[in-house]
Structure 1
Amino acid sequence: MRLDLDHVGVAVRDLDAGFARYDRLGFRLTARSLHAGATVVGGPVQPWGSGNHCAMFREGYLEVIGLTDATLPSSVKSLVARYEGLHIVAMGCDNADEAHAELTAAGAPVEGVRALERDASYGPRDEQTRRARFRNLYVDRDAFPEARLLFIEHQTRDVLWQPHLLEHPNGATRIETLWLVAQDASATALRIATLVRREATPGEKGIEIRLDRGTIAVMSPQQWRSWTREDELPPLPAPAGASIGVVDLRRTEAFLASAGVACRRIADAAGRESVFVPPREACGAALVFTQS
Structure 2
Amino acid sequence: MGHDVNGLHHVGHLVRDMDQAMERYRRLGFTVAAPACPVMPATPEGPAEPFGVANAHVQFPRGFVELVAVVDHTGRMPGNARPLPLRVPQEQVPRLRAAIRATAATLTSFLRRFQGVHIMIADTSDIDRVAARLTAGDVGHGGVHDIQRPVETATGTRMEPARYLEISDLHLPPGRVPEGRIGFAENTPLNPSQEPPHADHPNGATALAGCVLCVADTALPEVERRYESYFGPARHGRATRFDRADVTVVAASALTRLLPGEHPAALPAFVGYTVAVRDLAATEELLRGNGVPTVRTGPDELFVPARAALGAAIIFRQDD
Shorter-chain TM-score: what band? 0.7 to 0.9
Question: SS where residue 56 of structure 2 aligns?
Answer: strand
The one-letter code sitting in structure 1 at the alignment partner of 2:270 is P
After the TM superposition, list the runs of 4 or more consecutive aligned residues in structure 1 that deviate by more than 4 angstroms.
Answer: 69-72, 156-161
Alignment gaps of 5+ in structure 1 = 37-46
Which position in structure 2 is the counterpart of 1:275?
302
Which position in structure 1 is the counterpart of 2:222?
187
Q: CA deviation at 1:244?
A: 0.9
**Conservation of the 8 A alpha-carbon contact between 1:31 and 1:120:** no
Q: CA deviation at 1:69?
A: 4.7
Work out which of the residue numbers 239, 251, 274 in structure 1 matches 2:282: 251
Which position in structure 2 is the counterpart of 1:41?
none
Aligned partners of 2:63, 2:189: CA distance in 1, in Å? 14
Aligned partners of 2:161, 2:311: CA distance in 1, in Å? 28
Question: SS where residue 29 of structure 1 aligns?
Answer: coil
Aligned partners of 1:253, 1:244: CA distance in 2, in Å? 13
Which position in structure 1 is the counterpart of 2:163?
135
Q: CA deviation at 1:110?
A: 0.8
Aligned partners of 1:25, 1:195: CA distance in 2, in Å? 32
Aligned partners of 1:251, 1:102: CA distance in 2, in Å? 43
**Conservation of the 8 A alpha-carbon contact between 1:9 and 1:87:** yes
Which position in structure 2 is the counterpart of 1:202?
236
Question: SS where residue 202 of structure 1 aligns?
Answer: coil
Cα deviation 1:239-288 (Å, max 9, x = unaligned): 11111110000000011111111112113xxxx54111011221101011
Cα deviation 1:163-186 (Å, max 9, x = unaligned): 3x3321001111112110001333
Aligned partners of 1:130, 1:233: CA distance in 2, in Å? 38
Question: SS where residue 250 of structure 1 aligns?
Answer: helix
Cα deviation 1:205-228 (Å, max 9, x = unaligned): x111110xx521111122111232
Which position in structure 2 is the counterpart of 1:40?
none
Which position in structure 1 is the counterpart of 2:107?
76
Q: CA deviation at 1:94?
A: 1.5
Q: CA deviation at 1:147?
A: 2.9
Question: SS where residue 302 of structure 2 aligns?
Answer: strand
2:177 equivalent to 1:144: yes
Question: SS where residue 254 of structure 1 aligns?
Answer: helix
Work out which of the residue numbers 138, 142, 149 in structure 2 matches 1:111: 142
**Conservation of the 8 A alpha-carbon contact between 1:175 and 1:245:** yes
Question: SS where residue 235 of structure 2 aligns?
Answer: strand
Aligned partners of 1:26, 1:166: CA distance in 2, in Å? 11
Aligned partners of 1:199, 1:160: CA distance in 2, in Å? 35
**Conservation of the 8 A alpha-carbon contact between 2:255 and 2:263:** no
Aligned partners of 1:132, 1:69: CA distance in 2, in Å? 27
**Conservation of the 8 A alpha-carbon contact between 1:146 and 1:236:** yes
Q: CA deviation at 1:96?
A: 2.7
Q: CA deviation at 1:160?
A: 8.7
Q: CA deviation at 1:87?
A: 0.8
Cα deviation 1:188-209 (Å, max 9, x = unaligned): 122111222x1122134x1111
**Conservation of the 8 A alpha-carbon contact between 1:189 and 1:208:** no
Aligned partners of 2:59, 2:240: CA distance in 1, in Å? 27
**Conservation of the 8 A alpha-carbon contact between 1:33 and 1:120:** no
* Greater per-residue strand proportion: 1
Which position in structure 1 is the counterpart of 2:211?
178
Q: 1:118 to 1:34 in 2, by over 3 A?
A: farther
Q: 1:273 to 1:113 in 2, by over 3 A?
A: same
**Conservation of the 8 A alpha-carbon contact between 2:272 and 2:314:** yes
Q: CA deviation at 1:18?
A: 1.1
Identity %: 30
Q: 1:253 to 1:63 in 2, by over 3 A?
A: same
Q: 1:255 to 1:161 in 2, by over 3 A?
A: farther
**Conservation of the 8 A alpha-carbon contact between 2:137 and 2:229:** no
What TM-score do the two structures reach when normalised by structure 1?
A: 0.84
Which position in structure 1 is the counterpart of 2:263?
232
Equivalences for 1:27-106 in 2 at 5 Å? 27-35=30-38, 49-70=52-73, 73=101, 74=104, 75-106=106-137
**Conservation of the 8 A alpha-carbon contact between 1:31 and 1:53:** yes
